[in-house]
Structure 1
Amino acid sequence: MLKRPVYIYTELSPNPNSMKFVLNFMLAPDGLSFDYPNLEAALEEGKASPLAGDLFQFPYVQRVFIASNFITITKDEETLWEEVLKDTKQFLKIYFEENQPVFEQRTIDKNTIIVDANDSETVQKIKTVLDQYVRPAVESDGGAISFHSFDEESGAVKVLLQGSCSGCPSSTLTLKAGIENLLTRMVPNVKEVVAEGV
């Protein structure tokens, strides 16, 4: 059996405990992302990932995030990347050379920013700005952002930050200085942006 060529390079993320492992092929459909905060989530019916499940066998792995052509792994505080990076990269290389599955066949995620016909005009604008301007920047740091909700009265947009953005010390700054500035400028009804579950 021919092994497929697998090239992996790593990128630091703004979260010092997260490392982005970038591959030379797609892992998830564009715009979809899969966040596994623990082993139970990786085994959950309907969103299971054998890859994430196997990664949680490493004692230092705290979270696994998969999107487009990268995996962001968040480690515990005690472990240094210098100690585990080579082994983690080697594991991923062998896993993909053997054509092991990333997801179970039925795994489908709703974690994409899709404009719905039932959305108000303001919500449609918010989703468009998030998708065109924010999502690519957040993905380049090994994370993802999804629209959660918009409160018409207060003007508050709730977003869900995942991957390296989850628990990242600089995610609050990114949220307020970057995303909130952009949305309040481009969508006048937006007054603030808050992160759900960070």
Structure 2
Amino acid sequence: MSTPYVITPKPTTNDKIYKFEANAFLVQGNSYEFGNIDQAKPSPLAQELFHLPFVKTIFLAQNFVAIEKYDIVSWDMVLEELSKSIENYLNSGRPLIDVPSSKPQNIAVYAESTPNPNTMKFVANRSLVPRRFEYNSIDQCTHAPLAKELFQTSG
């Protein structure tokens, strides 16, 4: 990321919860809530924060991290250090959420015969791209490496 993350702590209507707002998006489309370190397995940042004895719940949303604390400390005692810790973590480049990679799926590509013996048609067993493309020469497929490779192997 070219612009470093900057965290700004902001109080909420609940005095046990503070929001740590970022100057950029943190997560896209989802929000997460973790009530303990075991639930926080998808988030390395949340796991680190749960090592602090006063952290009760962690919320990750579009542009903020919210922390609910136990009453064993006041926000004044931990706010600055907590803000810096979150900021340093985000600027380290480590992931906020570890998204498990999906299991690789095999894709079969096979050739079909056409009425024209000079024309080859290649078909896959699942969609490879969101829409259909047709290339009539190698010059047309500069942005399609698979099509380019097929033209080169067909001689």
Q: TM-score of the superposition, structure 2-length normalised?
A: 0.61
Question: Aligned residues, how many?
Answer: 101
Q: Encode CA deviations 1:15-42: one digit per residue, 9 max, x unaligned.
A: 1110000001111113x21000111100
Match of 2:77 in 1: 83
Q: How far apart are 1:6 and its partner, in Å?
A: 1.6
Rg (Cα) greater in structure: 2
Residue 127 of structure 1 aligns with which residue?
Answer: none
Alignment of 1:109-148 (within 5 A): none
Give the secondary structure class of the aligned counterpart of 1:41: coil
What amino acid is aligned across from residue 28 of structure 1 in structure 2? V
Gaps of 5+ in 1: 108-198
Does the C-alpha gap of structure 1 residues 3 and 100 become closer, same or farther in structure 2, counting only changes over 3 Å?
Answer: farther
- Indicate conservation of the 8 Å contact 2:5/2:87, yes or no: yes
Q: Percent identity?
A: 29
Partner of residue 36, structure 1: 34
CA contact (8 A) 2:54 2:69 kept: yes
Shift of 1:99: 1.0
- Structure 1 segments (4+ residues) deviating >2 Å: none
Counterparts of 1:64 and 1:33, CA distance in 2: 11
CA distance change for structure 1 residues 102 and 76 in 2, over 3 Å: closer, same or farther? same
Amino acid at match of 2:8: Y
Cα pair 2:7 2:84 within 8 Å, conserved: no
8 Å Cα contact 1:3/1:97 also seen in 2:
no
When normalised by structure 1's length, the TM-score is: 0.48
Q: CA deviation at 1:93?
A: 1.3
CA distance in 1, matches of 2:22, 2:91: 12
